[in-house]
Amino acid sequence: DDQYDAVGIINGGGQGHIIKAFDVNIQGVVAVKKFKQINDPDNAKRVYREFVISRAIKHRNLIRLLDAFAPANSNDLYLVYEYMDSSMCDLIHLPTTDPKNMKRMVWDGETGDYFTADVLFQLFCGLRYLHQDRLKFIHRDIKPENILFKQTGDGSWLVKVSDLGLARKLNEDEANVTNYVVTWPYRAPEV
């Protein structure tokens, strides 16, 4: 699409990858999630689910869908999201000498306690919104890579939950949703 100029790759995976792009219409950076092979029924269902859920949610602590498009003569689909500076995974793995290192922030007295409480509060606010009666969505893949951060103008951190590809709407008649979808290292031990 002529609206988006690729700047670089943010992340890659089996289903596709996330591209950092410049949106010429809004004159800002966005994250473009490219899905490959949407002609495969399972992939198509997952991508469609992510699109529907992303479009339905509007909350400060959940990643915001800006656009979606599928180029002609292609089996690819693109979902365009707001851009965030980093993920919890990025912050965890910064060198300990970096002032933005999460380990330093967490263990740095009052600042660390406040930072930790604020991150958890924002994370739980986003998840609570997903779980409320009107929506009844469950995320099913909470992990450091899906918790995104952006530093705001006042120096605080805005936290957002991302990647709703494995999320499900929990209906009254759908009591049994498989629990084998989450990323293995982050799965509860009893699962």
Cite the residue boundaries of each domain of the chain with CATH code 3.30.200.20.
Answer: 4-82
The architecture that CATH gives domain 4-82 is 2-Layer Sandwich (3.30)
Q: Average pLDDT, stretch 137-156?
A: 88
- Distance (Å, rounded) from C-alpha 137 to C-alpha 129? 9
Cite the residue boundaries of each domain of the chain with CATH code 1.10.510.10.
Answer: 86-186
- Distance (Å, rounded) from C-alpha 185 to C-alpha 173? 30
Q: Which two tokens stand for residue 96?
A: 């300990």
- Distance (Å, rounded) from C-alpha 168 to C-alpha 135? 10
Q: What is the CATH topology of the domain spanning 86-186?
A: Transferase(Phosphotransferase); domain 1 (1.10.510)
CB–CB of 129/53 below 8 Å? no
pTM here is 0.83
pLDDT, one tens digit per residue, over 28-81 is 999 999 987 677 777 788 888 889 999 999 999 999 999 999 888 877 889 999
> Any catalytic annotation for residue 141?
yes
CB–CB of 19/9 below 8 Å? yes
Query: According to the model, what pLDDT value does residue 110 have?
Result: 47
Catalytic, out of 2, 40, 141, 154: 141
